[in-house]
Amino acid sequence: MVLELGGGTVRDKIVAILPKLQRFARVLTGSRDAGDELVQRACERLLRKPEAYDGILCLESWMYRVINNAWIDEKRSARNKLSDPIEAGLEIVGENGENTVDVRSTLARVRLEMARLPAEQRAALMLVCVDGLSYQEAANVLGIPIGTLMSRLARARLALAERMRQAHSDRACTPVGKVG
């Protein structure tokens, strides 16, 4: 039996959104392996009982929600700490290997500073700014009112911008050393 969902097989739709789901889960957990496990559990949940999900209108939003809920459950029970996001090896779609050292350094710094944000702010920032969900879609995924999402997003943006400004000013003020 091949499960059809909104004009295509569920497998095809999952494969198409897998990179987004993995990126979201990896940002939540701070770890490539833990993020991939969350995505795998969400996929298994969908494929284990396909008849229960005939009414899914937006598979992507539903999967985000399942991943977020699984992560919250895991966090509550295990009280996991975040690993270093640079070690987690989070990938950016479209990276071509020809980026400059400065761009890679900035990206690594953004990843590090995002990992230091509170989990709720990090999730809001990821869904809206990276994955492009609307405020309403992101609020639905996180199970919070839209005003709460907007507040978390504003605080996350301000904190990230301030941390990046501070990192830039710290680099600019670092003495280079004498030559010759």
Q: Indicate whether 59 and 124 sit together in one domain.
A: no
Could you tell me if 74 and 106 lie in one domain? no
Any domain includes 95: no
Q: How far is Cα 32 from Cα 92, in angstroms, rounded to an integer?
A: 13
Return the CATH number at 61: 1.20.140.160
b or e along 110-139 (b: 16 or more beta carbons within 10 Å of the residue's beta carbon)? bbebbbebebbbbbbbbbbeebebeeebbb
In a domain, 90, yes or no: no
Give domain status of residue 86, yes or no: no
Please report the pLDDT score of residue 180 as a whole number: 45
Q: Which of 18-32, 56-70, 105-119 has the highest mean pLDDT?
A: 18-32
Judged against a pLDDT cut of 70, whether residue 55 lies above it is answered with no
16 part of a folded domain: yes
Kindly state whether residue 45 falls inside one of the protein's structural domains: yes
Tell me if 179 is assigned to some domain: no
Shared domain for 13 and 51, answered yes or no, is yes
Total domains present in the chain: 2
Would you say residue 127 lies in a domain? Answer: yes
Share of residues in the chain with pLDDT > 90 (%): 17
Answer yes or no: do 4 and 67 share one domain.
yes
> Is the residue at 88 inside a domain?
no
pTM of the model: 0.54
pLDDT at site 135? 92
Which structure tokens are listed for 103?
């761009």
The pLDDT of 163-169, averaged and rounded, is 81
Same domain, residue pair 128 and 165: yes
Task: Band the pLDDT of 84: cuts 50, 70, 90.
Answer: very low
Count how many Cα atoms sit within 13 Å of the Cα of residue 34 in the half-sphere of its side chain: 21
CATH number at residue 118: 1.10.10.10
Residues 153 and 103 sit within 8 Å (Cβ to Cβ): no
For the residues 150-177, what does the mean pLDDT come to?
Answer: 80
Range of the domain at 144: 100-174
pLDDT tens-digit map of 99-118: 456 666 777 788 888 888 89
Asked whether residue 13 falls in the same domain as residue 77, the answer is yes
